[in-house]
Amino acid sequence: MNSNLNIFPAGSNIYYRIFMDIKDLVGKVPSEAIESLQNRRITSLTAPQAMAVEKGLLEGANIVVAAPTASGKTLIAELAMTKAVVWGRKKAVYIAPMRALVREKYVEFKQAYPFMKIAMSVGDLDSLDRWLEEYDIVLASTEKFDSLIRHGLAWLDSIGCIVIDEVHMLGDDGRGPTLEILVSKLRRMCSGAQILALSATIGNAKELSAWLGAGLVESDFRPVLLERGIELEGVVAYDTGREEQLDSANKIAELRITEDTLLRHKQLIVFYSTKRNTEAGAQRLCGMVSKYLSAQDRERLRELSVKVLGVLGRPTLQCEKLAAAILGGAAFHHSGLVNEQRELVEEAFRENLIKAVCSTTTLGMGVNLPAQTVLVRDVLRYGESTGSEYMGINEVTQLFGRAGRPKYDRTGRALLIARSKADAQELYNRYFLSDLDPVTSKLGILPVLRTHVLAFVATRFLTSRESMSDFMNSTFYGHHFSNSAELSGIVDEILGELKEWGLVQQLGSTYSPTRIGQRVSELYIDPMSARWMMDSMPKLADDISVLFMICNTMEMRPYVRATAAAEERYFSYQSLVNGSEARYGGEDFLFYDPVRPFSTALMLDDWAAEKSERDIIKDYKTTPGALYTKIANADWMLYSAMELAKLMRGSSAKLLEMRMRVKYGVRKELMDLIRLEQVGRVRARLMYSAGIHKASDIRKAESQDAIRRMFGKEIAAKIISQVVGDNDASARAAQQ
């Protein structure tokens, strides 16, 4: 392998000569911004930041910033936002694709700008959040801000700056279309606002900046030099031309790299292709890491292990695996963990308590969790439709960006593992010599566009076929392909479906929403899902049919695997889906195995029957994180079904009952107890077994005594006070 590759050749803008001291910004940005920079000991701008200023950042120009992770993109956004808020008397909006990233930036901005009113909105998609009107800077997820617009956001005219973080997500199959539609809407609705688009991985940044009418800042600058290398049999060949013998003779490559990192007193992240691989990797690495832990580390890790193990009422096998790995100073991180476990792992890694994290690629974007060394162990992954395939260069580059921590490291290492010289050459050509892939629009897909076309009509944003076609020409898709005939054809097909399903009506050339169509758009659910649920409601016979109705929707994907029990029981419920292909456009609706959503329904039924997380996870081959995500999604779909039932003038009692049972995971008899704070499914069942069948039973002295025996005085006081009053509860507790 020719390893003599200089990633920063002469002329690269890592040597960009514009130098700008913070004092040079005086008079160009508000004094509050200068003060914030000084408080954070920022004395000068990085190359990308100086380039953005030169491109007109402070004069309100739209800017696309394509620069590596940690190069200072967020500060570029801060300068524009503070100027818009303080001097422009406008609002600033920061939009990011993931809730975790929104939360992270919210904390950062609150600390950096305590004089500003900063708000975060990532939750309920059926809420206008009117309180946001009082805030200067609003941070929101893509879907949440799109939802706010659907609900009639009143302060769009007051927005002076819009920041789109991780703009390369335009090319994502799932999130991309919503982001593209949102950006296209905002360009029209907030025509005077400055737009900043930020990313570390855009292969066609010029095309993107042309679409946005923006200046382009492209830079290779990193505050921490990144060395990319390929490891083969203990030797790393770097793209700088340097070779290095690892200080470990371990026979397993990832353990060699781990030990070499630990000997440098540094941390590492290892990226794997699957959740199972991350867990196995953490089990391997913890044995190595444990040798390098101090006595103080071991004590703190024991405490952390207990916390992780106790997150769920009854630990699952996955909880036990994570807790065991943490004892050895390693951890795994993937979507199968519940949020609290992920947060505990992240914080412990930031504190240098956990030395090695094994993660799926989801950690490559979102929360800021850098390490001195990043190893992408698996560059091959398996797809059901594509088989084994290489990861794209953009994704690998995104993962590499986690290497090198500003203020801690002078260099970061981003490594791949080769099995042979031929393999090393393949990796070198694919990931070190190739250009980034272009970001491409994913808008031209009928199911994806359906919800957005309904929103156009429901919000009165676009009410004719011609106006929709014109809007589609203004999207990135329209900019890229110029000829929008195909997209116009898709829009026509969608309008026909929405009319057939009773969600829109047409008068001449103008479309308007029906009452149900208006509500479906506000609920932020797929129109096909709404039509399916409305058609299914008259057929509901029992709890499982209710759950099958909400599970057999687009929003509940991906479904759990089909179980043998589901295959046996499905035939009793298949009448619910008979004829669905014809009614809902053929393969758009039932191009999957209907036993899988039925299996998902049975899983939720087991949860509502108080089956333990451990047993459910084992029976349905899922994870705690996936289970709780399904519970949250089911809660939303049951709520949506209730709202639709009201419009259909049907009864929503059965839906409400099932919603409460799924939300809390309880049988019907516990519903009165579960509404009390401090009472979850486990405590509610214990109380019921002790003869406390409803909240009013707590007024009895013997019931209060039983609660104290079961849960202790402190928790008992909190439970009892909700029924008998704080004063009475405190007095009785004091007498015990």
Judgement on whether residues 69 and 196 belong to the same structural domain of the protein:
yes
Task: Indicate whether 515 belongs to any domain.
Answer: no
Residue 539 has what DSSP assignment?
G
Is a pLDDT exceeding 50 seen at residue 561?
yes
The string of pLDDT tens digits covering residues 654-711 is 999 999 999 999 999 999 999 999 999 999 999 999 999 999 999 999 999 999 999 9
* Residues contacting 320, CB < 8 A, separation 6+: 309
Task: Indicate whether 180 belongs to any domain.
Answer: yes
Judgement on whether residues 143 and 211 belong to the same structural domain of the protein:
yes
Give mean pLDDT, residues 102-128: 92
| Ramachandran angles phi, psi of 403, nearest 5° | -90, 130
Give mean pLDDT, residues 176-190: 96
What own/partner pairs with CB < 8 Å and gap ≥ 24 does 30-36 have? Answer: 30/82, 30/83, 30/86, 30/87, 32/82, 32/86, 32/113, 32/115, 32/116, 33/78, 33/79, 33/82, 33/83, 33/86, 36/78, 36/82, 36/112, 36/113
The average confidence (pLDDT) of the chain is: 90
The string of pLDDT tens digits covering residues 272-288 is 999 999 999 999 999 99
> In the structure, what pLDDT confidence band is assigned to residue 313 with cuts at 50, 70 and 90?
confident
At 483 the pLDDT is 66
Give mean pLDDT, residues 703-728: 88
In contact, 405 and 370? CB cutoff 8 Å? yes
Picking from 505, 534, 553, the residue at the C-terminal end of a domain is 505
- Rg of the chain (C-alpha set): 28
> In the structure, what pLDDT confidence band is assigned to residue 3 with cuts at 50, 70 and 90?
very low
At 713 the pLDDT is 93
Checking DSSP bridges between strand 380-383 and strand 330-333, what pairing results, if any?
unpaired
Task: Indicate whether 174 belongs to any domain.
Answer: yes
In contact, 255 and 359? CB cutoff 8 Å? no
Q: For 307, how many CA atoms within 13 A lie in the half-sphere containing its CB? A: 15
DSSP codes of every residue in 309-338: HTSSSS--HHHHHHHHHHHTTEEEE-TTS-
At 223 the pLDDT is 87
Structure tokens at 438: 């272009």
CATH number of the CATH domain containing 705 = 1.10.150.20
Distances (CA, A) of 183 to 424, 475, 730: 41, 8, 55
Bigger pLDDT: 126 vs 547: 547
Judgement on whether residues 409 and 287 belong to the same structural domain of the protein:
yes
> In the structure, what pLDDT confidence band is assigned to residue 162 with cuts at 50, 70 and 90?
very high
> In the structure, what pLDDT confidence band is assigned to residue 314 with cuts at 50, 70 and 90?
confident
At 406 the pLDDT is 83
At 585 the pLDDT is 56
Give mean pLDDT, residues 449-453: 92
> In the structure, what pLDDT confidence band is assigned to residue 580 with cuts at 50, 70 and 90?
low
CATH number of the CATH domain containing 619 = 1.10.3380.30
* Residues contacting 111, CB < 8 A, separation 6+: none
The segment with the largest mean pLDDT, out of 9-18, 578-587, 675-684, is 675-684
Task: Indicate whether 684 belongs to any domain.
Answer: yes
CATH number of the CATH domain containing 357 = 3.40.50.300
> In the structure, what pLDDT confidence band is assigned to residue 638 with cuts at 50, 70 and 90?
very high
3-state secondary structure 163-191: EECCHHHHHCCCCHHHHHHHHHHHHHHCC
Is a pLDDT exceeding 90 seen at residue 501?
yes
Judgement on whether residues 192 and 62 belong to the same structural domain of the protein:
yes
Quote the domain boundaries for residue 391. 225-433
Give mean pLDDT, residues 382-391: 76
Judgement on whether residues 274 and 388 belong to the same structural domain of the protein:
yes
Bigger pLDDT: 375 vs 123: 375
Task: Indicate whether 12 belongs to any domain.
Answer: no
Give mean pLDDT, residues 533-548: 95
Task: Indicate whether 343 belongs to any domain.
Answer: yes
Give mean pLDDT, residues 316-331: 96
At position 282, the amino acid (one-letter code) is: A
Is a pLDDT exceeding 60 seen at residue 728?
no
The string of pLDDT tens digits covering residues 41-64 is 999 999 999 999 999 999 999 999
Give mean pLDDT, residues 125-150: 93
User: Would you tell me how many other CB atoms lie within 10 Å of the CB of residue 39?
Assistant: 11
Judgement on whether residues 73 and 162 belong to the same structural domain of the protein:
yes
Between the two ends of the chain, the Cα-to-Cα distance in Å is 78
Picking from 195, 218, 241, the residue at the C-terminal end of a domain is 218
Nearest in space to 92 (alpha carbons), one of 101, 83, 102: 83
> Three-class SS of residue 697?
helix
Range with the poorest average pLDDT among 540-554, 604-618, 671-685, 718-732: 718-732
The string of pLDDT tens digits covering residues 211-232 is 999 999 999 898 899 999 999 9
| Percent of the chain residues past pLDDT 90, beyond the cut | 80
Picking from 218, 237, 267, the residue at the C-terminal end of a domain is 218
In contact, 271 and 399? CB cutoff 8 Å? yes
* Residues contacting 421, CB < 8 A, separation 6+: 1, 232
Judgement on whether residues 358 and 302 belong to the same structural domain of the protein:
yes
Residue 578 has what DSSP assignment?
T
Q: How far is Cα 288 from Cα 293, in angstroms, rounded to an integer?
A: 10
At 381 the pLDDT is 85
Judgement on whether residues 24 and 95 belong to the same structural domain of the protein:
yes
Task: Indicate whether 541 belongs to any domain.
Answer: yes
**H helix count then E strand count, the chain:** 33, 19
Q: How far is Cα 52 from Cα 125, in angstroms, rounded to an integer?
A: 35
The string of pLDDT tens digits covering residues 164-176 is 999 999 999 888 9
At 729 the pLDDT is 47
Judgement on whether residues 393 and 456 belong to the same structural domain of the protein:
no
* Residues contacting 691, CB < 8 A, separation 6+: 697, 703, 706
Structure tokens at 104: 């992270």
Judgement on whether residues 645 and 717 belong to the same structural domain of the protein:
no
Judgement on whether residues 699 and 557 belong to the same structural domain of the protein:
no
Task: Indicate whether 10 belongs to any domain.
Answer: no
The string of pLDDT tens digits covering residues 642-654 is 999 999 998 899 9
At 523 the pLDDT is 95
Range with the poorest average pLDDT among 477-491, 553-567, 583-597: 583-597
Please state the domain count of the chain: 5
Helix segments in 552-594, DSSP class H: 564-569, 580-583, 587-590
Distances (CA, A) of 55 to 64, 200, 648: 10, 18, 55
Judgement on whether residues 305 and 410 belong to the same structural domain of the protein:
yes
